[in-house]
């Protein structure tokens, strides 16, 4: 074991689900190098063999190539075999990790954040995420302390382009959409569908340009994948129409905490065919239980093709309830306010898996704390717009009061 000099990066870059910060003040090449060394050491824990293979790729941010180079140098210093997939989206990176049967992967990206930010998404085998409680604390501690295995090894780096294999993989699952697949993979736009920077989220608009909420798209895709005996995962902020649609079609609806760090392992554990989040992340068993904006877009287009309907025509029946969307409240004592709000509804069904979810027959709400900010995030749904406004006013007063 040996220790390298102290960090020139911010400890705040280690978040609950990934690593990200402002470049170069918070995250930089020093961070990438040390995180890579800590990551390689973490992946070796409990392994019989010392040889590990790690997939590395990056998005198109100007700072990404330099961070990727430093990350690769850190892996090499730990004696890892590196597959450099070059410039990819996050879903293509997940595909490459599984296609190469790698022991883990690192995607250099800050996802939807502006260009002055950058970050790293770390995954284990099968592209399962590292996160708080599942490896992030170990990576953070070792990176900051700078204590690593003193392993000097020859460079073992292979560069490989996965684009053709990725296109073939998607075409095999959506054979009638070959032209759209090539457009998505090459970065071309299709009207009514957009992605975040690294393409792990998809956003949809109807023919008039109005946004369609993520839980409504989840309900739509649930109708495509739901069959008796199948399981479908949805995040606890989702409209009741999602659970109702799944169960109407004979499948089992499984509610999850918010975030890919929870949904991906739950999908895998339950062998769920599909999962969706309000935020626009959609997960598929046919895509290694991972989230992919492109896979979701293709699934929606395929549904439109099969049903011979516009997207607006498909989703219109799913707008059954009145819903607020997410409302943020800046607070100091998050747990104290959660307890106060929960105590106001003694006759409700209350669950505590992610903040509090309070349910009545004609309305429900979820109030959950942010992992990174002094914020409480509120989602409310009711049978009528009038009841929704009444409960929104009540909850705002409870939280602010």
Q: How far apart are CA 284 and CA 296, in angstroms?
A: 8
Q: How far apart are CA 34 and CA 146, in angstroms?
A: 7
Q: How far apart are CA 326 and CA 260, in angstroms?
A: 18
Tokens 């490459």, residue located: 96
Cβ 23 vs Cβ 117: under 8 Å:
yes
Which are the catalytic amino acids? 111
Tokens 């929606």, residue located: 300
Determine whether 131 is exposed, middle or buried from the number of CB atoms within 10 Å of its CB (0-12, 13-18, 19+).
buried
Cβ 121 vs Cβ 129: under 8 Å:
yes
Alpha helices for 146-233 (secondary structure H): 163-173, 178-186, 214-225
- Cα distances from 217 to residues 166, 201, 213, 272, 324, in angstroms, run 24, 12, 7, 17, 16
């Amino acid at each position: 074991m040996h220790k390298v000099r102290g960090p020139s990066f911010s400890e705040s870059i280690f978040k609950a689900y990934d690593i990200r910060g402002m470049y170069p003040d918070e995250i930089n090449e020093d961070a990438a190098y040390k995180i890579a060394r800590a990551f390689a050491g973490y992946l070796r824990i409990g392994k019989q063999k010392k040889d590990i293979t790690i997939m590395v790729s990056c998005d198109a941010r100007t700072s990404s190539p330099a961070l990727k180079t430093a990350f690769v140098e850190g892996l090499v210093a730990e004696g890892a075999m590196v597959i450099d997939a070059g410039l990819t989206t996050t879903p293509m990176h997940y595909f490459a990790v599984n296609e190469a049967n790698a022991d883990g992967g690192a995607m250099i990206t800050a996802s939807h954040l502006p260009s002055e930010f950058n970050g790293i998404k770390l995954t284990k085998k099968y592209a399962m995420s590292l996160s708080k409680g599942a490896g992030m604390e170990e990576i953070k501690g070792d990176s900051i302390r700078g204590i690593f295995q003193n392993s000097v090894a020859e460079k073992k780096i292979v560069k490989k382009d996965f684009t053709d294999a990725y296109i073939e993989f998607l075409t095999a699952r959506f054979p009638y959409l070959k032209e759209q697949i090539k457009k998505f993979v090459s970065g071309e736009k299709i009207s009514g569908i957009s992605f975040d920077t690294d393409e792990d989220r998809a956003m949809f608009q109807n023919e008039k340009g109005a946004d369609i909420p993520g839980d409504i798209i989840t309900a739509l895709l649930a109708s495509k994948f739901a069959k008796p005996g199948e399981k479908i995962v949805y995040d606890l902020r989702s409209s009741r129409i999602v659970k109702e649609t799944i169960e109407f079609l004979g499948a089992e609806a499984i509610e999850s905490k918010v975030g890919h760090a929870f949904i991906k392992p739950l999908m895998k554990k339950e062998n769920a065919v599909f999962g969706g989040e309000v935020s626009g992340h959609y997960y598929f068993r046919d895509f290694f239980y991972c989230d992919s904006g492109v896979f979701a877009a293709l699934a929606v287009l395929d549904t439109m093709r099969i049903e011979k309907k516009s997207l607006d025509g498909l989703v219109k029946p799913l707008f059954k309830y009145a819903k607020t969307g997410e409302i943020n409240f800046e607070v100091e004592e998050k747990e104290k306010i959660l307890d106060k709000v929960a105590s106001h509804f003694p006759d409700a069904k209350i669950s505590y898996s992610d903040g509090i979810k309070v349910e009545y027959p004609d309305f429900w709400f979820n109030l959950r704390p942010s992992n990174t900010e002094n914020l409480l995030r509120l989602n409310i749904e009711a049978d009528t717009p009038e009841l929704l406004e009444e409960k929104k006013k009540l909850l705002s007063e409870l939280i602010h009061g």
